[in-house]
């Protein structure tokens, strides 16, 4: 990637993306970031060597790609501020603001903008994220590649063709890390009740989760096949899985994802109506 990239917002996700881009070989002189907080700018500049500003429009003026990395609650204000510059230079705009639909961003930015909406999740901050992207019709094939390359700096990327699916993405990968943390929390607590020391329960839980995830990532088989391989008939794993199934685990996860999806829709409406 040889484009000049401006990050509007210097929070954790912007910092993760910038670190990933630098690790991928993007020269620091091609990256700029802004934030109204001088201390955030200074910390990011010291950590990465990139140029930082407190002027959003000045940063956008020198960029081929503008990444909107501000909180959803203030993105309308920021987009309206940037609109004259975006209309003048026509960069690719990438939004990582959760719950903000493309129609709203287009309106705030002045319309006819090459816009990509993305949904990264928090493991992106350790370059292990899962990011889904949606491109509006004005985005060219080359710009799609630029957006994918940028987001791939912090993990896996996947495209969707229907923006409405972003609410389901939010429910699955956006909120998903918390589901796994809850499962790990529950397993640790149960292991302690069975008599294991807390530190042992903690380490075994983490390594088991890591090992299972790595096996799934490195295998071409679906999870149900991997599960069957470690479930001996009449064994301990089978008995445990029976207890989970009888407890309605699958229905619980279905209801959890539906609840998260519905809340994502509500939040989008709240943000755009503010």
Q: What is the CATH code for 174-265?
A: 1.10.3730.10
Taking the C-alpha atoms of residue 247 and residue 250, their distance in angstroms, rounded to an integer, is: 9
Segment-wise mean pLDDT, segments of 10 residues, the chain, 274 residues: 86 92 94 93 93 95 96 94 97 94 96 97 93 97 96 96 96 96 98 98 98 96 97 97 98 98 90 70
pLDDT at position 163: 97
Q: What is the pTM of this model?
A: 0.91
The domain segmentation of the chain, as residue ranges, is 5-164, 174-265
Taking the C-alpha atoms of residue 62 and residue 195, their distance in angstroms, rounded to an integer, is: 61
pLDDT at position 175: 95
**Listed residue (97, 41, 89, 83) closest to 65, CA to CA:** 89
Task: Give the distance from CA 167 to its chain's centroid.
Answer: 13
CATH topology of domain 5-164: Rossmann fold (3.40.50)
The string of DSSP letters for 8-38 reads E--SHHHHHHHHHHHHTT--GGGEEEE-S-H
pLDDT at position 269: 86
Q: By the 8 A CB rule, do 121 and 99 touch? A: no
């Amino acid at each position: 990637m040889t484009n000049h990239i401006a990050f509007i917002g210097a929070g954790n996700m912007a910092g993760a993306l910038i670190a990933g881009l630098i690790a991928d070989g993007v020269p620091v002189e091609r990256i700029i970031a802004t934030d109204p907080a001088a201390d955030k700018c200074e910390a990011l500049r010291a950590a990465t060597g990139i140029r930082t500003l407190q002027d959003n429009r000045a940063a956008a003026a020198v960029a081929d790609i503008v990444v909107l990395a501000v909180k959803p609650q203030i993105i309308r204000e920021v987009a309206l501020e940037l609109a004259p510059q975006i209309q003048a230079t026509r960069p690719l705009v990438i939004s990582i603001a959760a719950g903000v639909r493309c129609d709203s961003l287009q309106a705030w930015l002045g319309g006819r903008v090459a816009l990509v909406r993305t949904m990264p999740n928090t493991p992106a901050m350790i370059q292990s994220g899962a990011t889904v992207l949606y491109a509006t019709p004005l985005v060219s094939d080359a710009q799609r590649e630029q957006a994918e390359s940028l987001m791939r700096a912090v993990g896996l990327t996947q495209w969707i063709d229907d923006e409405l699916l972003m609410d389901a993405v939010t429910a699955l990968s956006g909120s998903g890390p918390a589901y796994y943390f809850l499962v790990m929390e529950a397993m640790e607590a149960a292991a302690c009740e069975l008599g294991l020391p807390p530190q042992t329960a903690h380490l075994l839980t983490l390594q088991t989760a890591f090992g299972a995830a790595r096996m799934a990532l490195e295998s071409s088989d679906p999870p149900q096949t991997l599960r069957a391989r470690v479930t001996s008939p009449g064994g301990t794993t089978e008995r445990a899985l029976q207890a989970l199934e009888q407890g309605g685990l699958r229905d619980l996860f279905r209801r959890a994802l539906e609840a998260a999806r519905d809340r994502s829709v509500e939040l989008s409406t709240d943000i755009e109506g503010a």
